[in-house]
């Protein structure tokens, strides 16, 4: 299995995923486990569970399916989730910066891709005109 | 015009470097075509029938002379010496080598241009009308909000992989020349009783396979909320829009499925979280951007220019051109000029050569304030021309093949590139346009027919906006051969309407004759100086059908 990229104090660290941590879909989830969300899952209904969730993984069935970005935004900004938020599935270098902006802090890069290469995608472009989960102020409030 | 600051410069330059790296990785095989596809699309690069096509953004259709010269140079050095202006106020280059795209983008960045999000399932170029800031019937200048929306939507990380493409248009004039009702979001900007800027928000319009005019979701929205409200719409769409079928993925299908009330309630719920938060636009920001659009230093000129008057009296051709191609300006002594890119069968609609682009750039400086606009009808607009210069401009335009006096007439055809270039096409569009233009080449006759819009799309995607043409022509595929379906009664603007199909489709060579019969029916039934679309509305389709298909059998 591929290694994970994790942001630690904003800096990427490449490490192995914890093999003992179960990450399971909402229907089977039990307190203390990691929660795996699919793009159809309604994040707003998760509030009562969050205190018992070990971490949250959001699945990108295809990198072209952008629902995970809004789910991440809502988890971070609206539900106040501060634990690990991992992107899993079709996770590729060229989308990592967008994922990071939307609040993901760990990335399970697709198994056939080099994790070391993918790290280069985290930076993206330095200018964010609008706002995001990690920068809720649009550029015009930061000028 | 808006001038880039350090942030804008940094963004386009970094984006070029990023895409250069992505192209390298594609060429080395590190990126598969599937992975590369959305990356190149978000940088405006399509794979067409014969070559790559690069679509460059012209934000709300506004160009400087320097920018137009850069486009001319790109056409000359990297393409076949011409570019194609599109119905979304962009320009397309049709014969591009992948390896050269980063260099082209770097050239564009030097003149404050880019190709970001001109394609792909993201927020596309923000459009408005070509006469923004100068139209006599303008309520407010839509450009500051258009620029603010352009910035806000550019590389907005949450909304780069939407279910489908997303188009936003703004308009703030009595006549809606930005066709806001056929956009995913249409914003109509107007002044409230106390002089405050308000927005009417329309949502769910679009052409394509399921043409729908947008519906109002909110009225009287104070301008400060524009970004938070658009964000709310986009988040609802991103979460709930269909992704299983690309023909059902546009926001219009979601709005239709939920109903406008339920959709509006959903947006309202989302918006309550955003309203009055950091996404609200500030006065400072509005003023910063608006200061880029202050009116140029107009001279105070007499309303009547004697020399201009005598040219009008002496030259029928000039008089006609003024009648069709010259539009009222809000400043006395000035006018806006539409340069027709539809000279007839000689050049496909919207195609402009490098030499023509350079000539237009020169005229913009000589006769105006160095600014050019692209209209969604694919024509070029010089927004600020002194009336006394109109005659000289007309002569120069005629020499360059840009002086055809046909704006709004039957030969001012709006056509997509169609089967000659586009890999999605069912049928060709350009030869159909040329066939009709060759048939209707008598300017007297065209002027007698009067206002009549004719739009051609090579397939259901409707890039030629055929649904809103008074006459619409759609390329369809029947057992592998190219046929054309005709609709009548479409219209854009405040009285936007979708055309209705008249009956079975036609072969390419029949089309000019069919159009001739439609026009004859119109002239037979026309009352006074009625416009074509009004006659169609008054008498319905029957007389047209009867004429077209009856004579068809006899022939
Ligand atoms: S309408 Fe169809 S044929 Fe014409 S440009 Fe669009 S996709 Fe291509």
Q: Looking at residue B49, what is its pLDDT?
A: 87
pLDDT band with cut points at 50, 70 and 90 for residue B554: very low
The answer to whether B6-110 and B306-399 have equal CATH topology is yes
Q: Looking at residue B551, what is its pLDDT?
A: 62
Nearest CA in chain B to A65: B161
Instruction: Find the CB nearest A64 among B151, B159, B161.
Output: B161
Q: Looking at residue B150, what is its pLDDT?
A: 97
- Cα B295 to the chain's mean position, in Å? 23
ipTM, 2 dp = 0.97
Q: What is the DSSP letter of A76?
A: I
Fold entry, domain B306-399:
Sulfite Reductase Hemoprotein; domain 2 (3.90.480)
Q: What's the mean pLDDT in A70-76?
A: 98
pTM of the model: 0.94
Query: Burial level of A125, CB count in 10 A (0-12/13-18/19+)?
Result: middle
User: B52-56 and B45-47: which strand pairing?
Assistant: antiparallel
Q: How far apart are CA B503 and CA B393, in angstroms?
A: 44
Q: How far apart are CA B544 and CA B379, in angstroms?
A: 30
Of B92, B33, B54, B78, nearest to B350 (Cα)? B92
Q: How far apart are CA A65 and CA A63, in angstroms?
A: 5
Q: Do A94 and B281 touch (CB under 8 A)?
A: no
Interface of B with A (CB under 8 A): 7-8, 10-11, 14-15, 18, 22, 30, 35, 38-39, 121, 151-163, 227, 235, 238-239, 243, 273, 277-279, 281-282, 284-285, 288
pLDDT band with cut points at 50, 70 and 90 for residue B303: confident
* CATH 1.10.10 for domain A3-141: no
The top-level CATH class assigned to B143-292 is: alpha beta
Task: Render pLDDT for A10-63 as a digit per residue (tens, 0 to 9).
Answer: 999 999 999 899 999 999 999 999 999 999 999 999 999 999 999 999 999 999
pLDDT band with cut points at 50, 70 and 90 for residue B550: confident
What are B507's two structure tokens? 């072969």
Determine phi and psi for B218, rounding to 5 degrees: -160, 145
Contacts of A132 in chain B (CB under 8 A): 156-158
Element (H, E) at B11: helix B6-27
Mutate to test the pocket of ligand 1, among B418, B467, B475 (most ligand atoms within 8 A of CB): B418
Q: Looking at residue A2, what is its pLDDT?
A: 72
- State the average pLDDT for chain B: 95
In B361-376, which positions are buried (b, 16+ CB within 10 angstroms) versus exposed (e)? bebbeebbbbbbbbbb
CA dihedral B277, B280, B282, B285 (to 10 degrees): 120
Instruction: Give the torsion sign (CA, B237, B238, B244, B248).
Output: positive
Q: Looking at residue B555, what is its pLDDT?
A: 45
Q: Within 10 A of B547 (CB to CB), how many other CB atoms are there? A: 18
Q: Do B18 and A125 touch (CB under 8 A)?
A: yes
Fold entry, domain B414-549:
Sulfite Reductase Hemoprotein; domain 1 (3.30.413)
Q: Do B278 and A131 touch (CB under 8 A)?
A: yes
pLDDT of residue A1 exceeding 70, the answer is no
Task: Render pLDDT for B457-511 as a digit per residue (tens, 0 to 9).
Answer: 999 999 999 999 999 999 999 988 999 999 999 999 888 899 999 999 999 999 9
Fold entry, domain B6-110:
Sulfite Reductase Hemoprotein; domain 2 (3.90.480)
Task: Render pLDDT for B245-280 as a digit per residue (tens, 0 to 9).
Answer: 999 999 999 999 999 999 999 999 999 999 999 999
């Amino acid at each position: 299995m591929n290694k994970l990229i994790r942001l630690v104090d904003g800096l990427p660290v490449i490490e192995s995923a914890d093999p003992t941590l179960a990450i399971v879909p909402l229907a089977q989830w039990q307190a203390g486990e990691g929660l795996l969300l699919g793009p159809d899952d309604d994040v707003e209904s998760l509030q009562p569970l969050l205190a018992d969730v070990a971490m949250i993984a959001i699945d990108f069935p295809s990198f072209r399916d952008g629902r995970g970005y809004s789910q991440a935004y809502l988890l971070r900004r609206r539900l106040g989730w501060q634990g690990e938020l991992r992107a899993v599935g079709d996770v590729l270098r060229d989308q990592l910066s967008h994922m990071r902006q939307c609040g993901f802090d760990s990335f399970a890069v697709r198994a056939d891709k080099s994790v070391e290469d993918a790290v280069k995608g985290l930076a993206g472009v330095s200018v964010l005109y609008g706002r995001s989960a990690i920068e809720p102020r649009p550029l015009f409030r930061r000028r | 015009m808006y001038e880039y600051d350090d942030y804008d410069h940094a963004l386009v330059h970094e984006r070029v470097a990023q895409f250069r790296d992505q192209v390298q990785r594609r060429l080395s095989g590190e990126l598969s075509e599937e992975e590369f596809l959305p990356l190149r699309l978000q940088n405006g690069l399509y794979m067409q029938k014969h070559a790559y096509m690069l679509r460059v953004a012209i934000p709300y259709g506004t160009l400087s002379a320097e920018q137009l010269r850069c486009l001319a140079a790109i056409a000359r050095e990297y393409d076949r010496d011409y570019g194609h202006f599109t119905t979304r106020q962009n320009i397309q280059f049709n014969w591009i080598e992948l390896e050269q795209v980063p260099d082209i983008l770097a050239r564009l960045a030097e003149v404050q241009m880019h190709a970001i999000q001109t394609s792909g399932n993201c927020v596309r170029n923000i459009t408005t009308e070509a006469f923004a800031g100068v139209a006599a019937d303008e309520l407010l200048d839509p450009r500051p909000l258009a620029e603010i929306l352009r910035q806000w939507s550019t590389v907005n990380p949450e909304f780069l992989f939407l279910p489908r493409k997303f188009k936003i248009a703004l308009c703030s004039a009595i006549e809606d020349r930005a066709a806001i009702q056929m956009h995913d979001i249409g914003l109509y900007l107007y002044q409230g009783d106390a002089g405050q800027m308000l927005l009417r928000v329309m949502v769910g319009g679009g052409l394509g396979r399921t043409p729908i005019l947008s519906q109002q979701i909110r009225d009287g929205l104070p301008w400060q909320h524009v970004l938070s409200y658009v964000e709310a719409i986009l988040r609802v769409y991103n979460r709930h829009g269909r992704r299983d079928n690309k023909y059902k993925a546009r926001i219009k299908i979601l709005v239709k499925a939920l109903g406008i009330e339920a959709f509006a309630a959903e947006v309202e719920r989302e918006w309550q979280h955003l309203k009055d938060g950091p996404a609200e636009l500030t006065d400072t920001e509005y003023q910063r951007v608006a200061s880029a659009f202050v009116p140029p230093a107009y001279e105070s000129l007499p309303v009547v220019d004697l020399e201009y008057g005598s040219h009008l009296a002496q030259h029928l051709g000039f008089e006609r051109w003024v009648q069709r191609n010259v539009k009222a300006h809000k400043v006395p002594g000035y006018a806006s000029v539409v340069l027709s890119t539809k000279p007839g069968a000689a050049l496909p609609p919207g195609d402009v050569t490098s030499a023509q682009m350079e000539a237009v750039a020169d005229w913009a400086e000589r006769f105006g304030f160095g600014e050019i606009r692209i209209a969604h009808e694919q024509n070029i607009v010089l927004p600020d021309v002194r009336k006394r210069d109109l005659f000289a401009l007309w002569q120069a335009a005629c020499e360059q093949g840009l002086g055809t006096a046909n704006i709004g007439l039957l030969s001012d055809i709006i056509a997509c590139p169609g089967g000659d270039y586009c890999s999605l096409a069912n049928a060709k569009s350009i030869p159909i346009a040329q066939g009709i233009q060759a048939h209707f080449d008598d300017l007297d006759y065209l002027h007698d027919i009067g206002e009549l819009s004719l739009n051609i799309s090579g397939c259901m995607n409707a890039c030629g906006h055929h649904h809103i043409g008074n006459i619409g022509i759609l390329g369809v595929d029947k057992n592998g051969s190219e046929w054309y379906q005709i609709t009548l009664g479409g219209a854009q603007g405040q009285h936007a309407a979708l055309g209705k199909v008249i009956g079975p489709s036609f072969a390419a060579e029949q089309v000019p004759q069919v159009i001739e019969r439609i026009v004859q029916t119109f002239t037979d039934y026309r009352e006074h100086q009625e416009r074509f679309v009004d006659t169609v509305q008054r008498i319905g389709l029957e007389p047209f059908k009867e004429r077209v298909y009856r004579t068809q059998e006899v022939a």
